[in-house]
Amino acid sequence: MHKWTPVLLSILRIMSGLLFLEHGTQKILGFPSPHEAAGHAAASGLMANLGQISGVLELVGGVLLVLGLFTRVTAFIVSGEMAVAYFMVHAKSGFYPIENHGELAVLYCFVFLYLAAAGAGPISLDHIVRKKG
């Protein structure tokens, strides 16, 4: 199994990036179904602005993660975004992530933190650029 570790790192990055990208397309492009249709209340003021900023981070960050481009920096930034999202949105509703519906934010946070440390893996633009340099 050890020989599959680098490839599985790339697959983890690609799949996490694709799933994360959906959050950005939902917030910025309204696809798939916007948050309001999913039963979330529309945000206003500061929270609406933060929602737009997080949408851009998720859209751009998701694309960069899928491509494996600037992976370490991107993963570090979006890991921080997920930590902020957890404490600003979810933690107010209770201590345990399963109770406050923050388990996905926590999981993304730590997966992205791992990718920031581990890098993109062999199936990535980072790997291709590094080989040429």
- Its sign, for the CA torsion 119, 124, 129, 133, is positive
The string of pLDDT tens digits covering residues 10-30 is: 999 999 999 999 999 999 999
Per-residue model confidence (pLDDT) at position 32: 87
The string of pLDDT tens digits covering residues 32-71 is: 877 554 444 455 676 678 889 999 999 999 999 999 999 9
Q: Nearest Cα to 14, choosing from 89, 68, 53?
A: 68
The string of pLDDT tens digits covering residues 55-113 is: 999 999 999 999 999 999 999 999 999 999 999 999 999 989 999 999 999 999 999 99
Per-residue model confidence (pLDDT) at position 38: 45
pTM, full prediction:
0.88
Per-residue model confidence (pLDDT) at position 36: 53
Spatial separation of the C-alpha atoms in residues 20 and 67, rounded to whole Å: 13
Give the DSSP letter string of 51-108. HHHHHHHHHHHHHHHHHTSSHHHHHHHHHHHHHHHIIIIIGGG-SSHHHHT-HHHHHH
- Spell out the domain ranges in the chain: 2-132
